[in-house]
Structure 1
Amino acid sequence: MAAGEVTLDPEIALFLREMRAEWAQHPPLESLGFPEQRAVCEAVRARWAEGGPRMARTIERVFDPGAGKLHVRVYLPDGAGDPAPALVYLHGGGFTLFSIDTHDRLMREYAAAGGFAVIGVDYPLSPEHKYPVALNRIEALMLWLRTHAAELGVDPARLAIGGDSAGANLSFATALRLRDRGEEGLVSAILSNYGYFSTTVSDEAEARFGGPGSIMDRAEAVSYYANYLTDIERERSDPLACPLLADLAALPPVLLVIPECDLLTEQSLVMDARLRAAGVAAEAIVYPGTTHSFLEAMSLAAVARQGIADGARFVAGCLSR
């Protein structure tokens, strides 16, 4: 099975076939309202969030850290320490879909592999909550952790932030916000999994990895930004909405986890080059034969497990310094 000119990893190809079979049991998402779309996504993703490591302790909390209500789930693995270093993780879904439930296993895998806590964040979704509502609340959470992290068993001096796709976008935007207010030391690392950093998707990317049958094409990707932004023509030049346009100087170390066969691969490669040019300690790993969302195939695919191990290694290393 191929995506564009590149052959997919056989286990990732199996993951995609099984995902498509599950999606086929539901109405097309575009025929549904947003609450119904999210319910379908939860049902389709439920299988992939099952199993995996058990945590020593899990904390659920719904509270207002300063800019509106958030639901967080804190995963504390055996041996993480008290207080534990922590990765604040922001799920993907085009600013519109998914939750800490769809990403539950992924976050537990990171916690177990890295020996650190993971704080999953159910940030407010678009289009009901337009930019910068989610960003405001995530920034407020990070500032709250600076003085209240011990309430969650977490060490405020050892915090990383990360996420996949739109979550990677929000991770960069949050780090940029904190840097600009003189709080750059609050974030020790950024983990970026197949990040979505710009409204621009090239014709070449669409030809190779978009189109019918792809995991995500250009029209779908742009629709997510249309959900997120109030005025896409104006806000597409805002560096906190499109971090590929930002001044990236003085950001903490970054790991970019990059699928080879993804509509957004080009964005991560450009981000890597821009980070290095800005003097940021950036590491980029391209995983052959993988697509967007490949880390969720951890129960099937060795390459997904390797991607998680690499992210856990990076975060643990940064938080141990």
Structure 2
Amino acid sequence: MSGTDRLSPAARELCDAMTAFFPGPGDPAALRAAAAASPRGGAEVASVRDADADGVPVRIYDPAPGAAGRPLAVFLHGGGWVMCGLDTHDALCRALAVASGAVVISADYRLAPEHPWPAAPDDALTVLLWARARAAALGCDPARLVVAGDSSGGNLAAVTALRAPELVAGQLLFYPALDASMEQPSVAEFGEGYFHTAAHMAWYWDQYGGDPDHPHVSPLRAPDLSGLPRTLLVLADCDVLRDEGLAYGRRLGGAGVDCGVHLVPGVFHGFLGLPLPAAATVIGAAGAWVAATPAK
């Protein structure tokens, strides 16, 4: 890259290595295999167990069994609605649980193209309702329920908040996909050379399906965002999805929603899963935000 590269040197090195390894769009099996081959590991959590949430597999991370009144976070993983699952996002969920002190429930929702929209958002809502009903038994306050997710999982978290705003006390959105039109300037600016390409994103949207104008597909298209819960948006500066995240933050603020936007410089889409100082800083801040979730 030229001397004007917006990525930090460490991020550029990782970005180029990941780009060389990661398949292009078009083959779900190849993409899933690449995601499954990603390095594993993560923080120690006191209790980690798998469960069934009314038909949706979940993994429950409890950093302090026996505690009470804590927030409860439902986490929805990224992967273009096509790949990834409980194992690929295990380290991120562990880190969020430790940083927040909250119980984190990671949802293994159905994937496209085998299960197109609305399978994934329906599974997300199922897990939310299941989690809320069991909050007290998990040592959590059902009025302090947070939805969280990265990338396509950030989309699902935003959609879940739109569908059940009365149940959600906060939404934590890491570089979310929010607009199927892909018309924002950052799509062209970072469409190539920053790992997550515009071609990949367009293909993911095609696999996912649904009406691109429907707010439960493209939350940025929702006509009214008032009444949504407090929000934290974490965005990567060098990302095709950056500008739709910024636009969503502006709309939320304009609708009277308590919304914080953290635009992280020098990083690219997916940086939270990488050994970068910015990732640890963001997880710490996001954990503190979750820990401070007030009762709805």
Give the TM-score taking structure 2 as reference length. Answer: 0.92
Unpaired segments ≥5 residues, structure 1: none
- Residue 51 of structure 2 corresponds to 61
Q: 1:209 corresponds to which residue?
A: 190
**Does 2:99 align with 1:113?**
yes
Contact 2:175–2:245 (CA under 8 A) maintained in structure 1? yes
Corresponding residue for 2:205? 225
Q: 2:26 touches 2:203 (CA, 8 Å); kept in 1?
A: no
After superposition, the Cα gap between the structure-2 partners of 1:259 and 1:166, relative to the gap in structure 1 and judged at 3 Å, is: same
Residue from 251, 268, 271 that aligns with 1:274? 251
**2:111 maps to 1:125:** yes
Structure 1 CA distance, aligned partners of 2:227 and 2:11?
36
Alpha-carbon displacement from aligned partner over 1:125-172 (angstroms, at most 9, x marks no partner) = 111111111111211222223323345454323210110111111111
Contact 1:253 1:280 in 2 (8 A): yes
Q: Determine whether 1:42 maps to 2:59.
A: no
What displacement does 1:200 show? Answer: 2.3
Give ranges in structure 2 of 5+ residues lacking alignment. Answer: none
8 Å CA contact retained: 1:160, 1:319: no
Q: Does 1:302 align with 2:288?
A: no
1 or 2, which has the higher helix percentage? 1
| 117 and 304 in structure 1: CA distance in 2 versus 1, 3 angstrom threshold | same
Alignment match of 1:72 (pick from 46, 49, 58) = 58
Relative distance call for 1:2 and 1:146 in structure 2 (3 A) is farther
Identity, in percent, stands at 36
Contact 1:80 1:115 in 2 (8 A): no
How do residues 154-173 of structure 1 correspond to structure 2 at under 5 angstroms?
A: 154-173=140-159
Q: Distance in 1 between matches of 2:284 and 2:270?
A: 16
Root mean square deviation of aligned Cα:
2.2
The amino acid that maps onto 2:215 is P
* Partner Cα distance (1:320, 1:289) in 2: 35
What residue number does 1:283 align with? 260
2:209 is aligned with 1:241: no
Given candidates 264, 281, 291, the residue that maps to 1:316 is: 291
CA distance in 1, matches of 2:266, 2:295: 32
Look up the match of 1:81: 67
Return the alpha-carbon distance in structure 2 between the equivalents of residues 123 and 153 of structure 1: 24
Superposed, 1:16-27 pairs within 5 Å as 16-23=15-22
Per-residue deviation at 1:83?
5.8
What is the deviation of 1:17?
Answer: 3.3
Does residue 194 in structure 1 map to residue 188 in structure 2? no
Contact 2:184 2:244 in 1 (8 A): no
Q: What amino acid maps onto 2:219 in structure 1? A: P
